A and B are shown apart, each in its own frame.
Chain A
Amino acid sequence: MNTIYSINGPVVKVRDTKDFQMLEMVYVGNRRLIGEVIGVTSELTTIQVYEGTSGLTVGEPVTPTGAQMSVTLGPGIISNMFDGIERPLKELGRKTGAFIEDGTEVSSIDMEKQYDVTVTVSVGDSLSSGQIYATCPETEIVQHRCMLSPYIKGGKVTYTAPNGRYRVGDTVVKIDCDGEETELSLCQKWPIRTPRPIAKRLPLTRPLITGQRIIDTVVPVAKGGAAAIPGGFGTGKTMTQHQLAKWCDADIIVYIGCGERGNEMTQVLEEFSELIDPKTQRPLTDRTVLIANTSNMPVAAREASIYTGITLAEYYRDMGYHIAIMADSTSRWAEALREISGRLEEMPAEEGFPAYLPSRLSEFYERAGYVNTLSGKEGSVTIIGAVSPQGSDFSEPVTQNTKRFVRCFWALDKSLAYARHYPAINWTMSYSEYNDDLSDYYNKNVAPDFMDKKLRISNILHEETNLMEIVKLMGADVLPDDQKLLIETARVVRVGFLQQNAYHKDDTYVPLKKQYLMMNIILSLYEKAKEALSHKVLVSDIVATGWFEKLIKVKYDIPNDKPEMFDGYEKEMQGDFARLIAQQAEN
Chain B
Amino acid sequence: MAIKYIGLSEINGPLVMLDNVSGISYDEIAKIKLDNGTERLARVVELSGDKAVLQVFEGTTGLSLKNTETQFKGKPMELPLSTEMLGRVFSGSGKPIDGLGDIFPDKFADINGKPLNPVHRVYPRNYINTGISSIDALITLIRGQKLPIFSGSGLSHNKLAVQIVRQARIAEENGQEFAVVFGAMGVQNDVAEYFRRSFEETGVLQKVVMFLNLSNDPIIERILTPRCALTAAEYLAFEHDMHILVILSDITSYAEALREFSSSKGEIPGRKGYPGYLYSDLASLYERAGIIDSAKGSVTQIPILTMPNDDITHPVPDLTGYITEGQIVLDRGLDTTGVYPPVSVLPSLSRLMKDGIGEGYTREDHSSVSNQLFASYAKVQDARALASVIGEEELSAGDKDYLRFGTLFEKYFLCQSFDENRSIDETLDLGWELLSTLPRSELDRVDEEHLNRFYDNEKAKIKFGL
Contact = CB atoms under 8 A, between A and B. Distances in A.
Contact of A418 (B25, B318, B346): B346
Contacts of B37: none
Interface stretch (A17-25, A87-95, A172-180, A185-193): A87-95
**Which bracket fits the contact residues of A?**
35 or more
Contacts of A341: 268, 276
A79 interface: no
A360 B297 CA distance: 43
Interface in B323-340: 323, 325-327
**Which bracket fits the contact residues of B?**
35 or more
B321 interface: yes
Given A53-B26, A98-B293, A475-B396, A6 B49 contact: yes
Nearest to A267: B123
Given A263-B123, A419-B374, A295 B76 contact: no
Interface stretch (B3-11, B178-186, B386-394): B386-394
A100 B113 CA distance: 10
Given A99-B113, A100-B114, A269 B119 contact: yes
A475 B346 contact: no
Nearest to A543: B441
B49 A98 contact: no
A474 B47 contact: no
Interface in A231-245: 232-234
Contacts of B385: 472
Contacts of A299: 277, 280
A266 B110 CA distance: 25
Contacts of A204: none
B127 to A, nearest CB: 15
Interface stretch (B164-172, B347-355, B402-410, B423-431): B347-355
A243 B24 CA distance: 50
B290 A262 contact: yes
Nearest to B352: A263
A356 B31 CA distance: 42
Interface stretch (B56-64, B246-254, B281-289, B458-466): B281-289
A8 interface: yes
Contacts, number: 227
A436 B24 CA distance: 63
A259 B283 contact: yes
B271 A351 contact: yes
A339 interface: yes
Interface stretch (A142-150, A161-169, A367-375, A390-398): A390-398
B294 interface: yes
Contacts of B22: 58-59
B23 A6 contact: no
Interface in B224-247: 238
Interface string B13-53: 00000000011111110000000000000000111111000
Contact of B327 (A5, A234, A345): A234
B115 A100 contact: yes
B441 A549 contact: yes
B399 interface: yes
B118 A262 contact: yes
Contacts of A90: 119
B271 A261 contact: no
Contacts of A477: 394, 396
A266 B26 contact: no
A352 B271 CA distance: 7
Given A57-B24, A335-B279, A352-B269, A473 B389 contact: yes
A475 B394 CA distance: 8
A393 B313 contact: yes
Given A59-B23, A475-B399, A233 B294 contact: no
Nearest to A468: B382
A97 interface: yes
A270 interface: yes
Interface string A407-446: 0000000110011110000000000000000000000000
Of the candidates B49, B280, B326, B445, the one having the most CB atoms from chain A within 10 angstroms of its own CB is: B280
21 contacts: A6-B47, A8-B46, A8-B47, A57-B23, A57-B47, A58-B24, A89-B117, A96-B117, A98-B120, A99-B113, A262-B116, A263-B121, A263-B144, A263-B352, A342-B276, A390-B271, A414-B347, A420-B378, A472-B386, A474-B389, A475-B399
Interface of B: 22-28, 45-50, 75-76, 110, 112-124, 144, 238, 267-271, 275-277, 279-280, 283-284, 286-288, 290, 292-294, 313-315, 318, 321-323, 325-327, 346-347, 349, 351-352, 354-355, 367, 371, 374-375, 378-379, 385-386, 389-390, 394-396, 399, 441, 444-445, 447
Given A100-B114, A352-B276, A391-B313, 6 more contacts: A5-B49, A56-B26, A259-B283, A295-B284, A418-B374, A419-B374
Q: Which 4 residue pairs across A and B have the least CB separation, nearest first?
A: A391-B313, A295-B283, A419-B378, A233-B321
